[in-house]
Amino acid sequence: MTAPLEEWHDLAVGLAAWATEVIANGRPDPATSETKVNAGDWVTSFDREVEQHVRAELRRLLPGHRVVGEEYGADADAGDAAVTWYLDPIDGTTNFVHGVPWVAFSLAACDERGVAVGVVADVYRGEIFSAVRGGGARLDGRPVRCA
């Protein structure tokens, strides 16, 4: 692994841990949650809070990078950034709104070679799966191996 990828990985894992805490302790009210494109496409204040925080941290720590998120789309001012982060703050918002404990946080960084870092946090199991190009996959920081 190269140093920048390790740093991006650690940042993504830290953001996933923060998001997991916020989401797991959140209880959206279906009456105040909204739908976007159709009746099955929900968005909550938690989706927005998590995306705003992650965007702010990525901008602060990696100012030349671009962010594309589910709730707020692509950064308008990132121009031709060499690295783009893709974010789904709550993957499974419909489940979240209805109290079904199958919800994830997803974040990935892509560069000219493809996916460089990826993180998926299973919110209610408290597990964080991560991978970094050239460094393998991990579950809660421990290497994952095929049987």
Give which of 93, 94, 107, 103 is closest to 125, Cα–Cα: 103
- Per-residue DSSP letter, 36: S
Q: Above 60 in pLDDT, residue 2? A: yes
Strand partners, 116: none
Q: What angle do CA 10, 3, 133 make, to 5 degrees?
A: 70
Of residues 117 and 26, more confidently modeled: 117
Of residues 60 and 77, more confidently modeled: 60
Instruction: Output Rg (C-alpha) for the chain, integer angstroms.
Output: 15
Of residues 36 and 147, more confidently modeled: 147
Assigned CATH class of 3-134:
alpha beta
What's the confidence (pLDDT) of residue 37? 60
Domain locations in the chain as residue ranges: 3-134
Instruction: Give the list of residues 6+ apart from residue 75 with CB closer than 8 angstroms, or none.
Output: 55, 59, 66, 67, 68, 81
What's the confidence (pLDDT) of residue 143? 95
